[in-house]
Amino acid sequence: MAKITLKGNPIKTIGKLPEIGKKAPKFKLVKTDLSTTKLKEFKGKKVLLNITPSIDTGICANSMRKFNEAASEFKDTVILHVSKDLPFAHSRFCAAEGISNVIPLSDFVKGKFGKRYGVTIKNGPMKGLLSRAVVVVNEEGLVTYTEQVPEIAQEPDYEAALEALK
């Protein structure tokens, strides 16, 4: 279980991020058109998972914007934004912000992604949402980088995450 904070107050997640060098856990998430997608659909590409509590917070929105800007620099790479937001919220945000290089995905149906990746918040006011984290998976499906952001009100280390895609 990861110990993180929300504005200095301790909270916990149900587990830990996947281990570097190990196979990334499978997932099935909902896209903005309500269809589903799985990790195996991105085989042969590098995948950056930008995991956030909710697109309706400033830091989460900013991380989607920053990764969207950077996405065009990377060949054979897909950037996925994962939260428990409804697909309608993702769609609204992407349309309003002109987001086209990041695929927003929702874990709202069963919450299995949060459990498999160890990012479901276990206690506190955000209980049940996903913690802020970044996971990079290589073309073979192996985890090559992880960051569990220690303070939910803090942005991820964009530079390190993007460097992991090179």
Query: Taking a C-beta distance cutoff of 8 angstroms, is the pair 46, 139 a contact?
Result: yes
Respond yes or no: is residue 60 known to be catalytic: yes
pLDDT band at residue 53 under the 50/70/90 scheme: very high
Q: Which of 2, 30, 47, 60 is catalytic?
A: 60
**CA distance linking residue 58 with residue 47, whole number of Å:** 24
Q: 4-8, 37-41, 90-94, 112-116: which range is least confident on average?
A: 4-8
Sign, Cα dihedral of 145, 133, 87, 62: negative
| Averaged pLDDT score across all residues of the chain | 94
pLDDT of residue 144: 97
pLDDT band at residue 71 under the 50/70/90 scheme: confident
Query: Which CATH number fits the domain that encloses residue 59?
Result: 3.40.30.10
Domain of 37?
3-163
Number of domains in the chain: 1
Does this model's pTM top 0.75? yes
